[in-house]
Amino acid sequence: SDELTQATSVSVSPGQTARISCSGTTLASQYAYWYQHKSGQAPVLVIYKDSERPSGIPERFSGTSSGTTVTLTISGVQAEDEADYYCQSGDKNSPQKVFGGGTKLTVL
């Protein structure tokens, strides 16, 4: 299965826009999914199928895809958004799933 690469960390001030990217060759043909993970809590799905937002997820979370890179954008970042964010995708030839290494979002 392919690998997904994410930056280790991103820092933004409250109210700014955070962009977290994920790259990998599988993203050219497979959807991406994004999970928010706060320490000690269950990871939460925030974006599915590149850009769809589950019910209950604030509108400030959005996703885009271009070629082999997908981006999670958090507009108007709030302190509560501080967390680790993981991208995930699949393999077109098997049910195997792959995760990125995670990006720690720090709200300054």
Q: Could you list the residues that contact another protein (CB under 8 A)? A: 31, 33, 35, 40-45, 48-49, 54, 86, 88, 90-102
For residues 12 and 45, which CB has a smaller minimum distance to another protein in the complex?
45
For residues 1 and 16, which CB has a smaller minimum distance to another protein in the complex?
1
Question: What is the closest distance, in whole angstroms, from the C-beta atom of residue 59 to another protein in the complex?
Answer: 18
User: Are the C-beta atoms of residues 89 and 98 closer than 8 Å to each other?
Assistant: yes
Question: What is the closest distance, in whole angstroms, from the C-beta atom of residue 13 to another protein in the complex?
Answer: 26
Question: What is the closest distance, in whole angstroms, from the C-beta atom of residue 7 to another protein in the complex?
Answer: 13
User: Are the C-beta atoms of residues 77 and 83 closer than 8 Å to each other?
Assistant: no
For residues 8 and 13, which CB has a smaller minimum distance to another protein in the complex?
8
Closest CA to 27 of 75, 57, 61, 66: 66
Length of the chain: 108
H/E run at residue 107: strand 103-107
